Amino acid sequence: MNELNGKIAAVTGAASGIGLASTEAMIAAGATVVLVDRDERALNDACSRLGSRAIGLPLDLLNTEKCASLLDGILSKVGHLDIFHANAGTYIGGDLVDADLDGIDRMLNLNINVVIKNVRTVAPHMIERGTGDVVVTSSVAGHSAVPWEPVYSPSKWAMHCFVQTMRRQLLKSGIRVGSVSPGPVISALLADWPEENLRKAKEAGALIEPKEVADAIIFMLTRPRNVTIRDVVVLPSAFDI
């Protein structure tokens, strides 16, 4: 139960969904976690509930200056960083011709640019320490061109490529890099799903809980250091893609 005892982690998008479940699972395994999220109220609620090993860091990662301050913010609260879970993201589904242009920018910035910049920010700290784990929340949409996700799916394909390149770059520094690629997860992101798709998924039992994704993340983090789980796809058994 204490496989991450003494480890210090940071999770983005930590106040809800997969990020919150990942945080809860790491704390249950013995880690201290810095929860990074722009929703300060949800962040405070989560930290109050989770106890002293949950430390809130309110941060809007879409603000360029605040995004650049991520590592400084983490290290102002904890002594070092062992695990970084780049989880913050958003979703756009439906026909491209119906997509809001500003919404496209926001989604691509958060799902791609922020992840790359966050890893760029924390990597030198891990390189200096000679160890670390980076986990990126991707999606099954990064493995298959989902026709109703012409913006979201490409953003996750980009993350699949990014993880594979960074795994190779950081391996020599003792840092493991991997991604978790869930199918549909019961979370706020599903609010943007086409209503008919959501209805069918619910009726078919083709959804999973955030905790089931967090379980996979704990599996990745607790392998022997000579083992890297490069990418794990976590699907509802009834999900047809």
Boundaries of every domain in the chain: 8-234
- Classify each residue of 145-166 as buried b or exposed e, where b means 16 or more C-beta atoms within 10 Å of its C-beta: ebeebbbbbbbbbbbbebbeeb
**Catalytic residue list contains 91:** no
pTM of the predicted structure, to 2 decimals: 0.92
Annotated catalytic residue within 7, 31, 34, 152: 152
Both structure tokens of 128 = 């200096």
193-199: long-range contacts at Cβ-Cβ below 8 A with a sequence spacing of 24 or more? 193/91, 193/93, 194/93, 194/94, 194/148, 197/93, 197/148
User: What is the CATH T-level fold of the domain 8-234, as seen in this structure?
Assistant: Rossmann fold (3.40.50)
- Mean pLDDT of successive 10-residue stretches along the chain, which has 241 residues: 92 96 98 97 96 97 98 97 97 92 97 98 98 97 89 96 97 97 75 65 76 96 96 85 59
Query: Which ranges constitute the DSSP H helices of the chain?
Result: 17-28, 40-50, 64-68, 70-75, 101-108, 114-129, 152-171, 195-204, 210-221
Tell me, what's the pLDDT at 204? Answer: 67
The predicted structure's pLDDT at residue 186: 72
